[in-house]
């Protein structure tokens, strides 16, 4: 349970820290957009059980698919989608770290 709470805290803290260090002039907007990437966890609602601490999200859930990760990385290269792309990549990396 503590690991799950720590995981959620990281999903909040890392986008805020990245926004603070790299997008300070638009900190609030950047943090909210990157934090909105947590919405890809909606695909957990399609799984049974919704949350399984022993299951790796990356590669299992639809929006955490391996073929989508390069798309999320590509989002980082265009100014209009950069913040969302960063948020998605941060989210996937944090989920992947939990799988180790």
Which of the given ranges, 3-12, 49-58, 82-91, has the highest pLDDT on average?
82-91
* Structural domain boundaries, residue 15: 2-99
* pTM for the predicted model, two decimal places: 0.91
45-55: pLDDT as tens digits = 888 888 787 88
- Domain count of the fold of the chain: 1
CA-to-CA distance for 9 and 1, rounded, in angstroms? 13
pLDDT for the residue numbered 1: 62
The residue-averaged pLDDT of 9-36 equals: 95
Distances (CA, A) of 34 to 27, 53, 59, 100: 11, 24, 21, 24
Distances (CA, A) of 85 to 77, 81, 92: 8, 6, 11
Specify the higher pLDDT residue, 6 or 24.
24
Helix axes 2-22, 82-99, angle to 10 degrees: 150
């Amino acid at each position: 349970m503590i690991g799950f709470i720590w995981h959620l805290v990281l999903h909040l803290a890392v986008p805020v820290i990245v926004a603070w260090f790299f997008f300070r002039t638009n900190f609030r907007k950047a943090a909210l957009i990157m934090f909105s990437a947590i919405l890809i966890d909606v695909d957990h609602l399609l799984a049974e059980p919704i949350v399984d601490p022993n299951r790796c999200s990356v590669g299992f859930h639809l929006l955490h698919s391996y073929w989508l990760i390069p798309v999320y990385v590509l989002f980082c290269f265009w100014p209009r989608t950069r913040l969302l792309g960063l948020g998605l990549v941060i989210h996937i990396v944090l989920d992947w770290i939990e799988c180790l």
